[in-house]
A and B are shown apart, each in its own frame.
Chain A
Amino acid sequence: MPRATLRIPAFGLFLTLLAGACASRPPLPVPPPKAAVPRDTVVLLPDKAGTTGVVIVSASGAEQRLSRPMEATRVASGGTPGVPFLMDEPAVRALAGGAMDALPEPPARFLLYFSKGTADLTPESEAVLRDATGAIKARDAVDVSVVGHSDTLGDKAYNDRLSMKRAQAIAARLAAGGVPASILEITSHGKENPLVPTADQVAEPKNRRVEVTVR
């Protein structure tokens, strides 16, 4: 048997040469190459904002850097990442259409503001709370973060309590508006995570807030 397996390639080579010598037919369409070994294709896409980040693909001790929209590289198992090339949209869809169709909508975010030292919404924020409740229902949200914050006036313990009270007040309003409690996650950051950075002991209306993220 070893002799036969050696002969087949030689015979095949002979036929190929013969065909090449005799035929002037147009070449047959080349099917997309099947991966002979495991391989990766990595494609950098533009962000929603129109900017493009950077991706660094490493394998076998070598790197390729992708930084232009639709730039791609391929790498086979045991090899190094190939020279980047540009992929067009149909090719990206052919590569990853299933994943692209499953990508979720980005979360919607709402900022609700409070009167100083209280868990009472400002009048303007009442309308935003209605918008948030509407958005949760419209997209049939499955996960809603309600995160309370305070400004830096007062000590840490006071602001931890106050920011938690704010988050709980908003969660209660959302629940009263028909949002299932099971999808609400209530947390608070006290004065540690200001929207507008200030010195300590500064009253800042924009930091007295609850952030509602609708996923």
Chain B
Amino acid sequence: MRRFLMVGVATLFFFTMTHPATAAETIGVVRKTAGAVQVVRDGKAVPAAVGMKLLVADTIETGSGGSVGIILRDDSLVSLGADSSLALGKFQYAPAEGKLGLVARLSRGTLEYISGLIGKLAPESVRIDTPVSSIGIRGTHLIVKSESAGG
């Protein structure tokens, strides 16, 4: 069943063909930045700007004094404080196909998260992993700080 009829279907097709390893579908957008913020995509780091579209497998990183606010396509709100790194490992938002899930990895730093529709429709499918723990989020609002040794 075709859930989304994209206007840019040709563009999508082109991206899918030229980058078979990456999904070209936008999963979110950068809404706010302060200080140093970058997005690592396919091993390359680019400075993040407000309005930048995010793809699955992107890693968002902030430097000291940096912060970033993101809105995902299911209307989840995500923000990172300074010296943070968040990898958007899995983002599935196709309710009609029953494909729903969000798994992100906070390798360091501070995260605030308010769940969107994925959390509402499939609460069991939302998880944040850190080097230390795994956090299952049942449709809600939370803060995670993952400190490295000595910090």
Contacts and interface: CB of A to CB of B under 8 A. Distances in A.
24 contacts: A34-B151, A35-B150, A37-B149, A40-B133, A41-B145, A42-B135, A43-B142, A43-B143, A47-B114, A47-B140, A47-B141, A48-B114, A53-B137, A55-B138, A55-B140, A55-B142, A56-B136, A57-B134, A76-B132, A96-B112, A102-B112, A103-B114, A104-B77, A192-B1
A36 interface: yes
A116 interface: no
Interface of B: 1-7, 26, 29-32, 34, 50-51, 53, 67-71, 73, 75, 77, 79-82, 84, 95-96, 110-112, 114-115, 119, 123, 130-151
A86 interface: no
A35 B147 contact: yes
For the complex of A and B, the 7 pairs showing the least CB-CB separation, nearest first, are A53-B140, A98-B81, A99-B81, A102-B67, A104-B31, A102-B79, A143-B29
Nearest to B144: A42
Interface string A48-86: 100011111111000000100000000111000100000
Nearest to A36: B149
Contacts of B110: 95-96, 98-99
B67 A99 contact: yes
Contacts of B75: 106-107, 213, 215
Nearest to B130: A40
B29 A187 contact: no
B133 to A, nearest CB: 4
A17 to B, nearest CB: 28
Interface residues of A, number: 59
A102 B34 contact: yes
Contacts of A142: 29-31, 50-51
Interface of A: 34-48, 52-59, 66, 75-77, 81, 92, 95-107, 142-143, 145, 160, 164, 168, 183, 185-190, 192-193, 213, 215
